[in-house]
């Protein structure tokens, strides 16, 4: 996973209850179009779920997305990360 998608995934994880595309773009320091592309890929991978709230889209982690982040954090803290 690239740095941009990892950042988007991490920002979503920090947002309790989900985050809109616009807020996600602001927090990640990316354009809304870039965030939209990243969330589409993450959604197809089963890491993010998206729901429509009026005109906004709200993104949140799936169980798989949460497990992936927890696994990556464990690898870093255990010294197994080689990135």
10 found inside a domain: yes
C-alpha 47/C-alpha 9 separation (Å) is 8
Q: Name the domain count of the chain.
A: 1
Confidence of residue 79 (pLDDT cuts 50, 70, 90): low
Residue 41 belongs to a domain = yes
Q: What pLDDT sits at residue 80?
A: 53
Domain coverage including residue 51: 3-75
List CB contacts of 35: < 8 A, sequence separation 6 or more: 8, 21, 24, 25, 28
Mean pLDDT across the chain: 86
Please check the confidence at residue 76 and state whether its pLDDT lies above 60. Answer: no
Domain assignment of residue 83, yes or no: no
pTM given for the model: 0.81
Confidence of residue 53 (pLDDT cuts 50, 70, 90): confident
């Amino acid at each position: 996973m690239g740095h941009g998608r990892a950042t988007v995934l991490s920002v979503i994880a920090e947002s309790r209850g989900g985050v809109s595309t616009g807020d996600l773009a602001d927090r990640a320091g990316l354009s809304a179009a870039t965030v939209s592309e990243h969330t589409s890929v993450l959604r197809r991978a089963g890491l993010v779920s998206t729901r429509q709230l009026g005109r906004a889209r709200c993104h949140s982690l799936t169980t798989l997305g949460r497990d992936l982040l927890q696994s990556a954090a464990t690898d870093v803290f255990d010294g197994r990360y080689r990135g």
